[in-house]
Amino acid sequence: MLVDAHCHLGDGAFDADRDAALARARAAGVGHVIVIGESVAGSARAVDLAREAPGLSATAGVHPHEATTWSREAEARVRALCREPAVVAVGETGLDYHYDHSPRDAQRRAFDAQLALAAELGKPVVVHAREADADVAAMLRAWGGGGNVPAVILHSFSGSQVVFEAGMDVGAYFSFSGMITFKNWNPMVRPSACPPDRLLVETDAPFLAPVPHRGRRNEPAYVREVAAALAQAVGASLDDVGQQTTENARRVFGARVAAARVEHTVP
């Protein structure tokens, strides 16, 4: 069984065939999908999707691209959503200095506030880090080390040495995406350097489709291609990587994910 640890299932790219995409995921052995909230409205949509669906969990947060929308009111709404039983983590939050869709100080403010929220609520936090290594590392160390934030998930981990070291210091989970299937992916830190009990797999769908689907819309079924590439990278079998990453997802996301089953693969 596989868990897709990061999927934007609420995205409009799935409006035409969301149920069919989930059926394909189940057929591919995907027992659970974490539906990511990237804005207040997107988080509410993720919660709506997950509320009645035992195979789905949600996160609630505001993506760095949307950081200018962070406000006291946004924070109150994210906090309320985080108290829903279907919500297993805060985020996606973080810093993105590649696109700079929001000013950097606004990104840092929203990230800091969501790290504080994760600490307050005792929930893991899903972190997006792109070309902001030093600031991400400093903020992770500030919040993650002393047990304030119970767990950090480095989503679509890119193999940055600086982020890896901070992640190791705070016991973070390293979530690999379709990037690891790309021929030109040449990370400083290889997946085999990450502790096995900290590995996760994700699609980041509808973005970042793995080879051989690269360039098309991604979907949760394709987490299988990611897991296969990860298995090759760490020298393990697909079965072992599936088992390990599922166990890790259950540990970090908790009971709702721990209850996940795929009927035909249950021993």
Residues that bind Zn ion (CB under 5 A): 92
Q: Given the complex with Zn ion, which of 4 and 92 has the nearer CB atom?
A: 92
- To Zn ion, the closest distance from the beta carbon of 235 in angstroms equals 28
Q: Encoding tokens for residue 40? A: 């207040």
Q: Given the complex with Zn ion, which of 205 and 234 has the nearer CB atom?
A: 205
Q: Given the complex with Zn ion, which of 127 and 257 has the nearer CB atom?
A: 127
- To Zn ion, the closest distance from the beta carbon of 39 in angstroms equals 12
- To Zn ion, the closest distance from the beta carbon of 104 in angstroms equals 19
Q: Given the complex with Zn ion, which of 226 and 234 has the nearer CB atom?
A: 226
Residue type, 153: I
- To Zn ion, the closest distance from the beta carbon of 240 in angstroms equals 26
- To Zn ion, the closest distance from the beta carbon of 265 in angstroms equals 26
CB of 46 closer than 8 Å to CB of 259: no
| Residue in the structure block whose two tokens are 């406000």 | 71
Distances (CA, A) of 110 to 78, 102, 156, 190, 245: 12, 10, 20, 30, 29
- To Zn ion, the closest distance from the beta carbon of 204 in angstroms equals 5
C-alpha dihedral, 99 to 102 to 104 to 105, nearest 10°:
-170
Q: How far apart are CA 216 and CA 130, in angstroms?
A: 22
Q: How far apart are CA 188 and CA 205, in angstroms?
A: 24
CB of 241 closer than 8 Å to CB of 227: yes
Q: Select from 33, 96, 85, 31 the least CA-distant residue to 62.
A: 96
Q: Given the complex with Zn ion, which of 10 and 167 has the nearer CB atom?
A: 10
| Residue in the structure block whose two tokens are 């088992």 | 243
Q: Given the complex with Zn ion, which of 97 and 196 has the nearer CB atom?
A: 97
